[in-house]
Structures are given as structure tokens and as C-alpha cells.
Amino acid sequence: MDFNFHVRPILSDRCYNCYGPHEANRQGGFRLDQQASALGEADSGAVPIVPGRPNESELVARITAEDPEMRMPPAESKLSLTAEEIAILRR
């Protein structure tokens, strides 16, 4: 698995609008385009990505949430993740 080939395109297409470089759009107090921020604490107190422990990663919790209010990307974005993309992000 190569981060730049497999993971970054998914994050860029589905997540960076709200969790990327655009400060005006940013939510949650963290960025997925910067490693230190993605591995640090979000405004909620949760950690977006916990390396090697996907079940402790808020990102994994959100992309697999059954509750539509918690699921990312949100329905109103008209974006979604395939099962394969979820598996890649989980890895």
C-alpha cells in the first residue's frame, strides 16, 4: 500500500474540502493533509488517525458509522466511499 497512490487521492477527493488546506471550509480543528494534525487531537478530543489501530481512529469510526448524522462524507456533500476505499483507509 502506497500512501500517495492509494490513500491521498481518496482523502483529497472526499475529505480535503472540510479537513484540508482551505481554512474557511475547515471543520473539526484538524487537517488530513498534514500528518501532525491528522495524528493529533481534534476539537472534539478524538484523534482522527491512530496509526496501526484503526478501531481507535475517529476517521474510521466516521466513515463506517451507521448513523447518517455521524457518517462521513456527509450525505449533503453528494460524496460517498466504496467498500474498497473504506478498506484502504482502514489499512
The pLDDT assigned to 8 comes to: 94
DSSP line for 25-56: T--TT--SSSHHHHTS--TTS--S--TT-GGG
pLDDT per residue as tens, the chain (91 positions): 899 999 999 999 999 999 999 999 999 999 999 999 999 999 999 999 999 999 999 999 999 999 999 999 999 999 999 999 999 999 9
Buried-exposed string 22-51: b where 16+ CB fall within 10 A, e elsewhere: eeeebebebbbeeeebbeeebeeebbbbee
